[in-house]
Amino acid sequence: MSGWRIKLYRGKYAAVRSVGGKTERFSLRTADLGEAKRRLKDYEAKPTGETVGDLVAAYLDDKDKTAIRAIDLRGAWKQAEPTFGHLRPDQITRDVCRQYRDMRYAAGRKANTVRKELEVVRAALNFHKKGAVAVFELPRPPPPKERYLSRDEARRLLKAARGFPHVRAFIALSLATGGRQSALLELTWDRVDFERRRISLSIGDDLDEARKRRAVVPMNRRAYRYLRVLNALKTCNHVIEWGGHRVLSVKKGFKSACDKAGLENVTPHMLRHTAASWMAESGVDMFRISRYLGHSDTKVTERRYAKLHPDFLSDAADALDF
């Protein structure tokens, strides 16, 4: 098990840990510290059970050590557990998955949400090499959203965010770097190099491999000027801050700015898509866009953005001229 600490509780030692903001505790039934440590070791060495619930619990314990957003995995499992927790892996069938899908749809959940919940179950079984006996059927992912902001809409959004400095900073940097929301909210000043005019979205710690790829990107003129202002006013080590503390989410402030700007169906992630689309429309080649976004493969970039390139299929059209 991960994260257990030994603490004295009512005269005897207990194992304690925090999971999802809640405290878990069980007694080790001894007042001797050495014996308590041995009993905790024995407890952690227990073989994993055979139910899906046992396998997912052990998987999530491991992810607590390595995953950046392990709390999201636990949130997805919380929804799937009543349906899958008591089953053996070989009892997972297409019909079980379809019934779960239909139940979640009836509760108003979208296909992507249901996919993520089922993917946690599948990943846990594969982690224990027991996925081969289960048969999964996941909802088809929805087609990617084609919507992205025009430059006029981006300017309107920035103007509307003047009352929310942390949101305005997020919008400006997202459009300038194409960075993911998590990367920008985690950005600290030690990774902003004004001399070389570069921003390192990669943290450089032991968990970097667990994160989606993050790039080192140059500052354009807007980003340089904006970061200079933010740096002069900084009150903490995080670039995007509010009240002297790092910002964990811009969701509410971003929506308020969108409403004020008269923009509908715009999400924080759309800014990354917008940055990539602008680059493609300007004729930047797919390799450079891929590197800028931190994609693992140029094919990922081509599938999404090649059609926006001004030369896309132009040679094919020329071949049909007569």
| Pair 179, 272 in one domain | yes
For the chain, give the mean pLDDT. Answer: 88
- Mean pLDDT of the 268-279 span: 94
Identity of residue 40: L
Digit-coded pLDDT (tens) for 226-245? 899 999 999 999 999 998 99
Number of domains in the chain: 3
Q: Which of 133, 159, 191 is the last residue before a domain boundary?
A: 133
**Nearest Cα to Cα of residue 169 among 271, 289, 261:** 271
| Pair 189, 254 in one domain | yes
DSSP labels for 37-77? Answer: HHHHHHHHTSPP-SSHHHHHHHHHHHHHHH-TTHHHHHHHH
| Pair 198, 273 in one domain | yes
Q: Is residue 200 part of a domain?
A: yes
- Mean pLDDT of the 279-296 span: 90
Boundaries of domain holding 86 = 52-133
| Pair 24, 157 in one domain | no
Q: Looking at residue 22, what is its pLDDT?
A: 80
> 8-12, 57-61, 234-238: which has the highest mean pLDDT?
234-238
Q: Is residue 318 part of a domain?
A: no
| Pair 271, 213 in one domain | yes
DSSP labels for 196-246? Answer: TTEEE----STTGGGSPP--EEE--HHHHHHHHHHHHH--SSBSSEETTEE
- Mean pLDDT of the 267-279 span: 94
- Helix ranges (H only) for 191-294 are 221-233, 251-261, 268-281, 286-293
Q: Looking at residue 163, what is its pLDDT?
A: 86
The two tokens of residue 190 are 């030690």
Q: Looking at residue 212, what is its pLDDT?
A: 55
Digit-coded pLDDT (tens) for 154-203? 999 999 999 889 999 999 999 999 999 989 999 999 999 999 999 998 87
| Pair 39, 89 in one domain | no
| Pair 189, 263 in one domain | yes
Q: Is residue 138 part of a domain?
A: no
| Pair 126, 179 in one domain | no
Q: Is residue 143 part of a domain?
A: no
| Whether residue 20 has pLDDT greater than 80 | no
